Chains A and B, each alone.
Chain A
Amino acid sequence: MQLTFSNSGTKAGVVFALLATLVLSPLPVYAQQDDDTAAEEASSTETPKPEGDTSENGRPEIPAFAAKDQADPNWSMPGKTSALTRFSELDQITPENAKDLQVAFTFSLGVNRGQEAVPLVVDGTLYVVTSYPNHLYALDLTKPGAPLKWSYTPQQPLAAQGVACCDVVNRGPTFSDGKVFFNTLNATTVALDAETGKELWRTPLGKIEMGETMTMAPQIAGDKIIVGNSGGEMGVHGWVAALDKETGKLLWKAYNTGPDTDVKIGEKFKPFYDRYKGKDLGVSSWPEGMWKHGGGSGWGWVSYDAELNIVYHGVSNPGPWNASMRPGDNLWTAGIFARDANTGEALWYYQLSPHDWNDYDAVNENMLLDMTWKGKKRKVLVHPDRNGYMYIIDRVNGELLSAEPYAHITTSKGVDLKTGEIKWARDGEPEIGEVVKDLCPAAPGAKDWQPSAYSPKTGLLYLPHNNLCMDHKEVSVGYIAGTPYVGADVWMKPGPGGNRGEFSAWDLAKGKEVWSIKERFPAWSGAVVTAGDVVFYGTMDRWFKAVDARNGKELWKFKTDSGIISQPTTWKGPDGKQYVAVLSGVGGWSGAIVAGNLDPRDGTSALGFVNAMRDLPDYTTAGGTLYAFTLPDNE
């Protein structure tokens, strides 16, 4: 691991940053040396203030509708708030005492596949869901050692495992009104009584025979729960749906490709850009009928603006990956929808990767923040996309405000802020059998699903991400329901500098990176930031880390039993102490080589990820353990 400070005031820091720029990275961002004020010792409690060239942009604030959840000492939903901010007001753990963190308790999840879920805590009970077979465990935090309170395992066919594109993961439950909600791999949403674990309802929503699974964490939107399917690699007909929280009844289901009626595009649809206006574009932007198995699934994060009553969700890549087979923009894939939470009707749409040719799903988190942009108050949506740009979009009207590169990009040459269009760096489709080399970012993107966190104290977005490029060859593919619809051989490799991952802090007002920690493997865990100015994240080589939110200085780390690809959370226990919890258990797409015991001699394994991860088995074995940490009693 190497750490670079762009704002370090020490001579060594400057030299190191310059060295890093010259030797390790083609990105100029490490050399930015704009102020000395933030170069305090780690013990300083002063917060760097955004200053300099873009004074018109204010530090983003967490919207008022999220204030109550933000202040909650519990962690009751995956994103902490429905704005997906992942900021907790707890401040017992600080840069000064983080070094004393200790294990409080552990719990074996009993499943050795990738654990991407989020441990939730509500009033003395911890809820955690495992990868397939999706056990849900409730632990009693009021008793010593946090014993098991109840557990629940859904009935589902073994065969569901075969159609999960990227390990049999689950990204967590969510909690509301005394109920725990989660999705099971066989595309079913389940609600349990949080006190007893009794099943209240279960609603099957998709068919594994058609390649549909569900891995995403549901989002509560008032009296509804919003879910979506996975299967962008299986040629599914992607959708997002709302269920009644009380009964599980399907209230609306909006498809992400096809005729306007299926997509719920009607009178309310007012996209900012004209190219999204027209009848049935979800049909006409595809070759004859291909939208029917064109992917566009809804497996990512959903956010909810309770004041506007709008749901925001991304849409996955189009299928097949072979882009030559589907001339056109392939709407409404690889974009973001704003929908009326009551009816599912589309309000606006913005496409991040038209005619996607690199598997750039647009399903990463849409974080909802309020900020002054060029002197004007705006309700915005922040979206670090797989295509490598940090998008800031007006979430009321869908207007693109900013799209700055946060990673190494060769597939495009920027985004035109006037038209909102990405400038792809290629002309036409590749020849048959041609291996197109060095496409960056690779298929999992500059950043995949691993969610970022935002601190209103520092104005920084904490961004776990990837540094991967790929070689890509299109191969022919025919659609056979329930089998992969990919049509590409991919070989991924480390990006410039050789570090495959990175954990960085991004100044949203200035649109640039402030500090960055290089990681050996893709930084595939989520991030958490606290009012104590401590950021937590985990690595695939088994470190769980606490770093200083202001300058990225490492404060503490702990070696877990298996690599970390889950979402850490922080909460106040019944004893009044602040805890941090995380799941170990390597796997997911990036860790498939270990979780699925794949053969490293074939670089195209796991859709090409194995080519970049051949050495992962030297650093971690499979596992699955919940860890909770806290400070010693005397602190």
Chain B
Amino acid sequence: MKPITTIGTALALSLLVALPACGEAGNDDQAKTETKTESAPAEKAEAPKEAPKEAPALQVAANQPPAISLVPIAPGGKIPVDEQSEAAKRLDGDPAAIAIGKQLFTAFNCSGCHANGGGGMGPALMDKDWIYGDSMENIAASIREGRPNGMPAFRELVPGDTAYQLAAFIRSLNPDIDKEPAYEQE
């Protein structure tokens, strides 16, 4: 029998160590905020000011990811908002990002729900069907915020480029991802 430590990659191990700390911090903050709101509603207005100090996890949100729509249609024939951040553009198709994304995909147990892209508890990610959009920002948003039918919100675990590395890997599973059928005109 092998010792357990040889099994995990260094990545997975560092995650394991980091995770409980993360979780606890998150819970504490939540608990504090909740108590405050309950006991002293008058202080509500001040809460946002203090929040960044107490909850470092929320600073990811302060980076303000670009605006991104979930659908290709908008009323009046307009083109919906589709901003791709610098990081998204830089890492899309980047072999190094894809390689890291592949490792993260296993380390975060994405593979447990999505297999190696074919799906299981979660939908297939290598096919052409996208519920919540297939752009780098769409996929990064799915990962950060979660999705209603059971996609967990990984926000705290995917700071900085991490969500984009995962997105780059997912997009690499389907090389035809951006190919649209040509629009026929008479």
Contact = CB atoms under 8 A, between A and B. Distances in A.
Nearest to A486: B112
Contacts of B111: 475, 484
Contacts of B149: 158-159, 161-162
Contacts of B150: 158-163
Interface string B155-181: 000000000000000000000000000
Contacts of A165: 121
Interface residues of B, number: 39
A592 interface: yes
A282 to B, nearest CB: 19
B79 to A, nearest CB: 29
B113 A162 contact: yes
Contacts of B52: none
Given A162-B152, A429-B2, A599-B124, A478 B116 contact: no
Contact of A592 (B9, B16, B120, B146): B120
A476 B2 contact: no
B18 to A, nearest CB: 10
A503 interface: no
Interface string B104-126: 00111101110111111111101
A6 B64 CA distance: 71
B7 A483 contact: no
Given A596-B123, A605-B120, A233 B112 contact: yes
B124 A287 contact: no
Of B7, B122, B149, the most chain A CB neighbours within 10 A belong to B7
B109 A287 contact: no
Contacts of A164: 121
Interface string A114-129: 0000000000000000
A478 B2 contact: no
A603 B126 CA distance: 12
Interface string A144-171: 0000000000000011111111000000
Interface in B83-137: 106-109, 111-113, 115-124, 126-127, 129
Given A324-B2, A478-B15, A483-B152, A596 B8 contact: no
Contacts of A603: 118
Of B9, B15, B109, B113, the most chain A CB neighbours within 10 A belong to B109
Interface residues of A, number: 46
B112 A598 contact: no
A480 B109 contact: yes
Chain A interface mostly helix, strand, loop or mixed?
A: loop
Given A159-B150, A483-B112, A432 B7 contact: yes
A486 to B, nearest CB: 5
B39 interface: no
B118 A601 contact: yes
A350 B36 CA distance: 52
Given A475-B106, A476-B12, A477-B12, A287 B4 contact: yes
B119 A606 contact: yes
Interface in A579-604: 592, 596-604
A477 B13 CA distance: 9
B19 interface: yes
B75 interface: no
A602 to B, nearest CB: 3
B118 A325 contact: no
Of A325, A429, A482, A599, the most chain B CB neighbours within 10 A belong to A599
A428 B1 contact: yes
A163 B109 contact: no
Interface in B7-31: 7-9, 12-13, 15-16, 19, 23
Contacts of A222: none
B7 A476 contact: yes
Contacts of B107: 478
A113 to B, nearest CB: 12
Of A287, A324, A598, the most chain B CB neighbours within 10 A belong to A598
A597 B129 CA distance: 10
A327 interface: yes
Contacts of A610: 115, 118
Given A322-B7, A476-B7, A478-B8, A597 B118 contact: no
Given A478-B8, A485-B109, 6 more contacts: A163-B150, A165-B121, A324-B7, A476-B7, A599-B117, A602-B117
18 contacts: A162-B113, A162-B151, A163-B121, A233-B112, A325-B4, A432-B6, A432-B7, A476-B9, A477-B12, A477-B106, A483-B109, A487-B7, A598-B120, A599-B127, A600-B118, A602-B117, A603-B118, A605-B120
Interface of B: 1-2, 4, 6-9, 12-13, 15-16, 19, 23, 106-109, 111-113, 115-124, 126-127, 129, 146, 148-152
